[in-house]
Chain A
Amino acid sequence: QSALTQPASVSGSPGQSITISCTGTSSDVGSYNLVSWYQQHPGKAPKVMIFEVSKRPSGVSDRFSGSKSGNSASLTISGLQADDEAYYYCCSFARGGPFVLFGGGTKLTVL
């Protein structure tokens, strides 16, 4: 199975909203509500922002939201802030191995 497909980059101005897409197949994103999203600043460990498609861990801002339709999932960040500038990775459970698939990552630039 191939990695999930994400745009290489997105950008937005402070205060704006952006959406990052994540496209999989019926063997992963399309079949399970087990999509998560991770934020990674350069040189740091990833941090979970969304799990099970749309749930936020304690401590994550409600400016971050997730959704899914068919074989695609999305992460929306509203009210963009400078510190949101980072790489974002989607992740999904995948049937039959390799069990876990990541997207290739999207670099978010806050203009």
Chain B
Amino acid sequence: EVHLLESGGALVQPGGSLRLSCAASGFNFNNYDMSWVRQAPGKGLEWVSAIGGGGGGTYYADSVKGRFTISRDNSKNTLYLQLNSLRDEDTAVYFCAKGFARDYFEYWGQGTLVTVSS
């Protein structure tokens, strides 16, 4: 059974940094593209970033490009998202998901809440 478990969400001040993690199990992690998708309170889904299965290729939404960095450790079956220069509008639940553009988001974690506020 596939499981995705996010962690690392917290309350952080504007301009601050945070690292989110997503522990994966139940599938051959290194073979699959992985993504982060976020959802601001009361709003819809927004794709944030993705990384290729072998770690090759990283992709970002314009809204986070230059501030967020996606990475993965295939030896630990873990996906990461480093969030820097955080803004109020980055407040959201961040979901990790198995899949990317030419796939679909087959599995999702339960999400981790990032709140950016002074």
Residue ranges of A at the interface with B (Cβ–Cβ < 8 Å)? 3, 34, 36, 38, 40, 44-48, 51-52, 57, 89, 91, 93-94, 97-105
Asked if B32 lies at the interface with its beta carbon under 8 angstroms from chain A, I say: no
Question: Is B45 in contact with A36, judged by CB distance below 8 angstroms?
Answer: no
Question: Distance (Å) between the CB of A57 and the closest chain B CB?
Answer: 7
Consensus secondary structure, chain A interface: strand
Provided the pairs A46-B45, A105-B45 are in contact, do residues A99 and B108 lie with their beta carbons within 8 angstroms? no
B residues less than 8 Å from A101 (CB atoms): 47
**Interface residues on chain B, number (Cβ under 8 Å):** 21
Question: Is B111 in contact with A45, judged by CB distance below 8 angstroms?
Answer: yes
User: Which of B44, B61, B108 contacts A98, CB < 8 Å?
Assistant: B61
Provided the pairs A45-B110, A104-B44 are in contact, do residues A99 and B104 lie with their beta carbons within 8 angstroms? no
Provided the pairs A89-B44, A105-B44 are in contact, do residues A100 and B108 lie with their beta carbons within 8 angstroms? no
Question: Is A46 in contact with B44, judged by CB distance below 8 angstroms?
Answer: no
Q: List 6 A-B contacts (CB under 8 A).
A: A3-B44, A93-B101, A99-B100, A100-B47, A103-B44, A105-B45
